[in-house]
Amino acid sequence: MKTMNCESCGAPLEIENQFIRSVTCQFCGSAYVVNGTDGLDMKGKTASLANYPSRLSVGQTGKIHGKGFSVMGRVRYSYDEGFWEEWQVNWDDDTPPDWLEEDEGYWTLYRRERVRSAIPPYNEIRVGSTVKVNKYDVFVTEKREGQMMGSEGQFSSVLPIQGKFGFFSGNADGKIVSINYWEDEIELSVGEDLEHSDMVLS
């Protein structure tokens, strides 16, 4: 663990491991990118998050399918019909962090994968069509625009603090495949639905 200080309020920022790329100050909401020279580059400020009922909180520990984890961060995104939350989880066995998506009481465990093939532009995606993404033939079930509402904690990716982004998701061979069109990156996540009993909290 490495400790740095917030440039805005001076509070300590504890960087958990080598996978962390961004961090949000819990006291003032300043958001930073962790750069390659062990420094911090400020990206702006995020809004404070109102607490809604959830099984998780930052710092929470537990097991998923028997594998130990701790929650490092939380992001809330909005879209035209509401919002959803994503929780960054750090695994006890030091494998790269993954994401737990919470949407209307349903949980999905996502792992990021490299994009290895061309993906159509967002405006060409159609719900009900099939899109080739890497080795997956993805049947598109959802296409929307989202926007980040706020964050807390630490993350293995750089978060889109401002502006809207397009995303779509669908099914492929029993997996859930999600694509985010960030301003300067296309991000691919592949996940599985979790039952309530799959996640045991400490």
Instruction: Kindly state whether residues 32 and 66 are assigned to the same domain.
Output: no
Instruction: Kindly state whether residues 17 and 87 are assigned to the same domain.
Output: no
Instruction: Kindly state whether residues 130 and 189 are assigned to the same domain.
Output: yes
Instruction: Kindly state whether residues 100 and 145 are assigned to the same domain.
Output: yes
What distance in Å separates the CA atoms of residue 196 and residue 24, rounded to the nearest whole number?
Answer: 29
Instruction: Kindly state whether residues 94 and 128 are assigned to the same domain.
Output: yes
Is 100 domain-assigned? yes
Instruction: Kindly state whether residues 127 and 170 are assigned to the same domain.
Output: yes
For 40, the 3-state DSSP assignment is: strand
Instruction: Kindly state whether residues 115 and 166 are assigned to the same domain.
Output: yes
With a cut of 70, say whether residue 71 has pLDDT above it: yes
Say if residues 89 and 75 touch (Cβ distance below 8 Å): no
Percent of the chain with pLDDT over 70: 96
Instruction: Kindly state whether residues 66 and 138 are assigned to the same domain.
Output: yes
For 140-150, what is each residue's pLDDT tens digit?
Answer: 999 999 998 98
Instruction: Kindly state whether residues 123 and 165 are assigned to the same domain.
Output: yes
Report long-range pairs for 91-99 (Cβ below 8 Å, ≥24 apart): 91/67, 92/67, 92/68, 93/67, 93/68, 94/17, 96/19, 96/156, 97/19, 97/72, 97/156, 99/189, 99/191
Most confident segment among 31-45, 134-148, 152-166: 134-148
pLDDT band for position 163 (50/70/90)? confident
The domain tally of the chain equals: 2
- Please give the model's pTM, rounded to 2 decimal places: 0.84
What mean pLDDT is reported for the chain?
Answer: 90
For 83-121, what is each residue's pLDDT tens digit?
Answer: 999 999 999 998 999 999 998 889 999 999 999 999 999
With CA atoms as reference, report the closest residue to 7 among 37, 38, 40, 45.
40
With a cut of 90, say whether residue 172 has pLDDT above it: yes
Residue-number span of the structural domain to which 41 is assigned: 2-45
Check which CATH number belongs to the domain holding 19 and give it: 2.20.28.160
Is 51 domain-assigned? no
Instruction: Kindly state whether residues 77 and 112 are assigned to the same domain.
Output: yes
Q: Is 25 exposed, middle or buried (0-12, 13-18, 19+ CB in 10 A)?
A: buried
Is 27 domain-assigned? yes
